Amino acid sequence: MLKLIGGLLVVSATGLAGWAVARVYARRPVELRLFISALQMLETEITYVATPLPDALDRVAQQVEFPVALFFRRVARELGQQAGCSAREVWNRALEWYFPKSALVRNDLGILRGLGNNIGISDRDDQGKHLRLAAEQLKMALAAAEESASKNVKMWNYIGLLGGLIIVLALY
Amino acid sequence: MGGLPLTGPGEAPAGAWRDIMPFLSPSLKELIAGVPPGYLAQLEEIRLRRDKPLMLGMAGRDFFVRKGGGLETRPEGGYIVEAGDLEKVIQNISGHSIYALEEELRNGYITLPGGHRVGLTGKAVLAGGRVKTLKHFSGLNIRVCREIKGIADRVIKHLIDYKADNVYHTVIFSPPRCGKTTLLRDLVRLISNGVPGLNFPGRTVGVVDERSEIAGCHRGVPQMDVGVRTDVLDGCPKAQGMMMLLRAMSPDIIVTDEIGKMEDVQALEEVFNAGVRVIVTIHGSSLQELVNRPALKYLLQLNIIQRFVLLGRSRGVGTVEKILSGNDLPRAGVKMCSN
């Protein structure tokens, strides 16, 4: 009886661990999609309405879902404080803060950082180009992320459960 | 009616420089905060040029700021403005949104909250032979706005037309930098709020502020006190703006700056015909000089301007040298007829 309970515990523990890894793979495409739609909103705000950047980012933060909203809200708030920092510094700091919480990989971060180097500092046409470029790059990353998600989500779920079973059988 | 010194009653606010501090980069902020407050109270402009020493214009002189703080009259050893400083200052004044300032960049200046002006230089981007925008900014000139309340107190009584319960059609003229716009702004405030001491109740004033100098608008909102009955059309060409105000806002008085082109005078004629009073400023050091310019000669020949205010610097900026009435014109030696 004790053995059975122990075995169940081992299987559920490894199963949960597998599920946690799988979840990171499953979350990345969701987050990338949110970022893409956020950038599209930002593009509209900037190129059609010419909303000042802090206000535009705030509007995006209100419309986009968790967790991406956290990033935009932070940038909007810091820019609104007028601490004398450039938008690039604020954007990059917020990215570093957001990255550990997110399911994004370094490559995705690089795309967003590239956008941060240019955000707000040129005319409307140019801003539109930079935002569209970043959105396109994120779409490519999204396709790759979806592919790896479809492979890895199932795999890690199985690895978790089956790995647990193997340990249990070996110990039995 | 000559020789009223105007610098006495009003002083520019000593803390105006504080409005500008939030827009500076952290390193510039630190340097300027280290300048003795007595000097900062007289701050007129901050000049930032890329890779050149930081320069402060105070009390009519140029100063350079040493790296460790402290002022210097010679540029050696002054803090050198870096590209990063300029980038941050420009981002701050634009609210991190250069794209939202296309019109301002075309004109070459941005107005800050508080009415302070930032002039910009850099590389012009052309489209169809006209300046579309600026990029690669290389120089900035932050000019502290000097709103001086009270300087029109002694002029206003000469301009009130008690019969019509309004003000006279007035032209303020002077050579550059004698305080025309400053006087005009204070007149607008007085006329709009009313002057109880002179039994003048206050009238609706429409201001066409083509260069954002009268009301110092930031995003369309006047940053200077232009009175309670004042409507400001910011950044609008004068001739069009006067027509718009006339139709839309039913002003009693229309005010505008720097009249000179024929189309401006034609628009003024429309305003006269509508029975609306006019106060305008004109560049020029004498009536004779005004008459030599065809558009202004035409304006004077209409014989409708009732008061001429000449400003000078004989007792400091903004001294009222002369106030003439329309009837004085022939006596002042102005030939009114072309033949």
The 3-state secondary structure of chain B, one letter per residue:
CEEECCCCCCCCCCCCHHHHHHHCCHHHHHHHHCCCHHHHCCEEEEEEECCCECEEEECCEEEEEECCCCEECCCCCECECCHHHHHHHHHHHCCCCHHHHHHHHHHCEEECCCCCEEEEEEEEEEECCEEEEEEEEEEEEEECCCCCCCCCHHHHHHHEECCCCEECCEEEEECCCCCHHHHHHHHHHHHHHCEHHHCECCCCEEEEECCCCCCCCECCECCCCCCCCEEEEECCCHHHHHHHHHHHCCCCEEEECCCCCHHHHHHHHHHHHCCCEEEEEEECCCHHHHHCCHHHHHHHHCCCCCEEEEEECECECCEEEEEEEHHHCCCCCCCCCCC
Residue B41's pLDDT is: 83
Cβ of A51: how many Cβ atoms within 10 Å? 20
- Provide the pairing of β-strand B230-234 with B307-312: unpaired
Grade residue B3 by pLDDT with cuts at 50, 70 and 90.
very low
Residue of A53, A88, A131 best to disrupt the B interface, most CBs of B under 10 A: A53
ipTM of the complex: 0.72
Q: Which are the contacts of B212, defined by CB distance < 8 A and separation ≥ 6? A: B109, B111, B117, B234, B235
Q: Which residue has the higher pLDDT, B329 or B283?
A: B283
CB contacts, 8 Å: B97 with chain A: 46, 50-53, 56, 120
**8 Å CB contact between A53 and A87:** yes
Q: Which helix (H) or strand (E) holds A105?
A: none
What is the mean predicted confidence (pLDDT) over B203-224? 89
pLDDT for B233 equals 94
Determine, for residues A123 and B98 on separate chains, whether the beta-carbon distance falls below 8 Å.
yes
Task: State how far residue A29 is from chain B, nearest Cα, in angstroms.
Answer: 30
Smallest CA–CA distance, residue B175 to chain A, in Å, is 38
Interface of A with B in 7-36 (CB under 8 A): none
Q: What is the pLDDT of residue B254?
A: 95
Q: What is the mean pLDDT of chain A?
A: 88
- Nearest chain B residue to A53 by CA distance is B97
Q: What is the pLDDT at residue B14?
A: 67
Contact B106/A at CB under 8 A:
no
pLDDT > 80? residue B296:
yes
Check if A124 contacts B (Cβ < 8 Å): yes
**Contact by Cβ (8 Å): B215, B234:** yes
pLDDT at B274: 92
Tokens linked to A96: 């570093």
Q: How confident is the model at residue B34 (pLDDT cuts 50, 70, 90)?
A: confident
Q: Which domains does chain B have, with CATH numbers?
A: 17-143 (3.30.450), 147-328 (3.40.50.300)
The answer to whether the beta carbons of residues B61 and B42 sit under 8 Å apart is no
Residue B225 and residue B193: Cα distance in Å, rounded? 10
Q: Which residues of A touch B132 (CB under 8 A)?
A: 123
pLDDT in tens, A92-135: 999 999 888 888 888 888 999 999 888 888 888 889 999 999 99
| Confidence label for B188 from pLDDT (cuts 50, 70 and 90) | very high
What lies within 8 Å, CB to CB, of A121 at 6+ separation is A87, B87, B91, B96, B98
Residue of A nearest to B94 (CA): A52
Q: Which H/E stretch holds residue A85?
A: none
pLDDT of residue B4: 43
Query: What local confidence, expressed as pLDDT, does residue B330 receive?
Result: 67
How many angstroms separate the first and last alpha carbons of chain A? 12
Q: Give the pLDDT band (50/70/90) at residue B190.
A: very high
Give the pLDDT score at B309: 92
Closest-CA distance, B85 to chain A, in angstroms, reads 10
Residue type, B168: Y
Whether pLDDT at B331 is above 50: yes
Identify which of A20-24, A74-78, B144-148 has the greatest average pLDDT.
A74-78
Lowest mean pLDDT among A81-95, B119-133, B136-150, B322-336: B322-336
Q: Between the ranges B54-58, B65-69, B253-257, B294-298, where is the mean pLDDT highest? A: B253-257
Mean pLDDT over residues A138-163, rounded?
88
Nearest to B3 by CA among B328, B324, B322: B322
CB B261 within 8 A of CB B212: no
Rama region for B71: left / alpha / beta (φ>0; ψ in -120 to 50; rest): beta
Give which of B110, B121, B127, B86 is closest to A125, Cα–Cα: B127
Candidate from B29, B94, B98 with C-beta closest to A84: B29
Bridge partners, B231 (sequence order)? B206
Q: How far is A39 from chain B (nearest CA, A)?
A: 16
Omega of the bond prior to A67 within 30 degrees of 0, cis?
A: yes
* pLDDT score recorded for residue B132: 82
Residues of chain B contacting residue A45, judged by C-beta atoms under 8 Å apart: none
The per-residue pLDDT for B10 is: 44
Residue B335 reports pLDDT greater than 70: no
A127 vs B: CB within 8 A: yes
**Beta strands B319-325 and B307-312, pairing class:** antiparallel
Residue-wise pLDDT for A26-71, tens only, equals 888 898 999 999 999 999 988 888 888 888 899 999 998 888 889 9
For residue B198, CA distances in Å to A110, B202, B304, B324 come to 69, 11, 24, 20
Q: For residue A98, what are the CA distances in angstroms to A52, B50, B250, B285? A: 23, 34, 55, 63
Residue from B18, B96, B131 whose CB has the most chain A CBs within 10 Å, to mutate: B96
For chain A, positions 40-59, list CB contacts with chain B under 8 A. Answer: 46-47, 50-54, 56
pLDDT higher than threshold 70 for residue B5? no
How many A-B residue pairs are in contact by the CB < 8 A criterion?
A: 67
For range B308-314, the mean pLDDT:
87
When pLDDT is cut at 50, 70 and 90, the band that residue B95 belongs to is confident
Q: Residue A122 and residue B71: Cα distance in Å, rounded?
A: 35
| Of A19, A14, A35, A56, nearest in space to A170 by CA | A14
CA distance B216 to chain A (A): 20
